[in-house]
Every structure is written in structure tokens, then in C-alpha cells.
Amino acid sequence: MSDDMIVLLTDFGWSDYAGVMKGIIYTINPNARIVDLCHDIAPQSIIEAAWILKNNYKYFPKGSIFCCVVDPGVGTDRKALSVTTADYRFIAPDNGLLYETLREQTVIETRRIPTPADAGRTFHGRDVFARAAAQISLGSFDGLGDRIDTIRRLDLYRSENEGLVVRIDRFGNIITNLPGRGRDTYTVEIGRRKLRLQFYPDYESAKPDELFLIKGSCGTLEISLKDADANKKLHTKAGTSIKIS
């Protein structure tokens, strides 16, 4: 019996939806090991889920199975995927969520998971993805479907100084996919705003009620507000274009 870890990534919040996925997994494999990576993805934010997966999968043991359910196309004919790489397995809807992560790895095979005839049209997390993750954790790959060659692309666009807001964390930090350039100040264009922001090496160095830039844990620039919520001032969301120069 496999002891590979199942890692959950969803936009379900701490709801019964996340809980029942675990119930399905334990019903099929009572010895499963389940870890919650994140359940507070903004609803339907494929960009945010892609960013979190891309930056965090590498911190889990090789062999881990990532079951990712951010699925605005649930109930349509979009594919459900099972992807095996040299080090991990990934299960997700074919909506671009996996694309950036898989670019960094050696893909062994990609299969289309069939949708059972009795699957609920609104809850494939329970009826498709959790079941597939549990079967894979048992070392059973029968019924995972036919091999396919391509998946949907979702590039987290970045040029020299133009990128995206990729996440708003629970502290209200506005996380971008743009690296810093060793400057003390930057011009930030986001939405209709144009701001001149100071860069600080840590939160404590900033002044009270001052929007500023800091290098986050993923190595990219974040807009922060000392001891407060930066996004309550800027009101942005994942997928918003941003320019930092």
C-alpha cells in the first residue's frame, strides 16, 4: 500500500466541501495522509491557485499527490487531469492551474480522468478529484483514463517590469510576480493609480499607515501596509495588471 501524501489545494474555505473531500479519501484509503496546503484561494481564482502551487509544491516530499480544485468550469466538458512527473503527481481541472508548475518538471504522462455518470454537476471535488487522489494513493491507476498530449496553458505573464497581482494574502499584502531590482524607491502603476513607493527590507522599517514594497517569501515584490491591510486601500485582486519600474 502506498503511503504517499495527498495535498489539498482548493477555493472551498473551511467548509463542508473541503471536509467531505477528506471523507471520500479516507473511505477509499483509511490509511491516507492528508495535508491542507490552502483552502482560502479567492473563489474561482485560477491565477492565485497556480501561483501558490508553483511556489510551494517543492516543499513537500517527493511522491506527494497534489489534489487541486479551483474549478469555475465544473460541470462542463473541460477535462479532469491526472499528471505524473518524475517526482510528483498532480490532479486538477484542465483550466491552466497546473501549467506553470509543470513547466518546471519532467512530465511522464498525462491522463484524462473520466467523470462518473452519477457525478454531481457542481461538485467534482468530491465526485471526481478526491476519488482519483485516493485511488492513486493506493497505487491503483486503473480507470484513470486515456493518455492525452496537451493541457491548457496559463502563463503568469511577466516582462521586464510588467506583471500581475497573483495573490492577496490574509494580511492584505498584494503579492506580485515581479522581482525587485535593488532600488530604494519604485514607481507602481496599478489600475488607474500611479504610486511612488519606498522599498523596505522588513515590515518594522516602514512608517505607520505607509504603503511600501517588500520582498516576499516567493522572491517577488509585495505591496504592504505596516500593521494593516494594504488591499483595503488599493482594492485590487489576483489577475490585475501591474507595472513596477
CATH code of the domain covering residue 182: 2.40.30.90
Q: Is residue 77 part of a domain?
A: yes
The model's pLDDT over 104-125, given as tens digits with 9 standing for 90+, comes to 999 999 999 999 989 999 999 9
Q: Rounded to an integer, what distance in angstroms lies between the CA atom of residue 161 and that of residue 242? A: 8
Cβ atoms of residues 71 and 95 within 8 Å: yes
Q: Which of 147, 124, 114, 118 is nearest to 68 (CA)?
A: 124
Q: Which residue has the cell 490574509?
A: 170
Q: Rounded to an integer, what distance in angstroms lies between the CA atom of residue 82 and that of residue 141? A: 10
Q: Is residue 101 part of a domain?
A: yes
Residues 111 and 174 grouped into a single domain: no
Lowest mean pLDDT among 3-7, 139-143, 162-166, 176-180: 139-143
**For range 23-48, the mean pLDDT:** 97
The CATH number assigned to the domain holding 112 equals: 3.40.50.10790
Residues 132 and 172 grouped into a single domain: no
Distances (CA, A) of 39 to 42, 60, 69, 82: 9, 17, 9, 20
The model's pLDDT over 43-63, given as tens digits with 9 standing for 90+, comes to 999 999 999 999 999 999 999
In three-state secondary structure terms, 134 is helix
The total number of structural domains in the chain stands at 2
Residues 130 and 203 grouped into a single domain: no
Residues 9 and 128 grouped into a single domain: yes
pLDDT at 89: 96
Residue 1 has pLDDT above 50, yes or no: no
Q: Which helix (H) or strand (E) holds 132?
A: helix 130-137
Q: Rounded to an integer, what distance in angstroms lies between the CA atom of residue 111 and that of residue 150? A: 10
Query: For the chain, what is the largest distance between any 2 Cα atoms, rounded to a whole number of angstroms?
Result: 59
Q: Is residue 143 part of a domain?
A: no
Compute the C-alpha angle 90/43/50, nearest 5°: 35
Residues 129 and 176 grouped into a single domain: no
Q: Which of 20, 17, 22 is nearest to 7 (CA)?
A: 22
Q: Is residue 119 part of a domain?
A: yes
Q: Is residue 156 part of a domain?
A: no
Distances (CA, A) of 26 to 144, 148, 155: 19, 29, 35
Q: Could you tell me the pTM of the whole model? A: 0.93
Residues 119 and 177 grouped into a single domain: no
**For range 8-26, the mean pLDDT:** 96
The parent domain of residue 128 ranges over 5-137
Q: Single out the residue in 88, 121, 137 at which a domain terminates.
A: 137
Q: Is residue 150 part of a domain?
A: no
Cβ atoms of residues 71 and 55 within 8 Å: no
Residue 166 has pLDDT above 60, yes or no: yes
Q: Is residue 48 part of a domain?
A: yes
Residues 172 and 219 grouped into a single domain: yes
Distances (CA, A) of 229 to 38, 167, 168: 20, 13, 10
Q: Which of 45, 121, 60, 127 is nearest to 90 (CA)?
A: 60
pLDDT at 144: 81
Between 16-28 and 130-137, two packed helices, what is the crossing angle to 10 degrees?
Answer: 30
Q: Is residue 144 part of a domain?
A: no
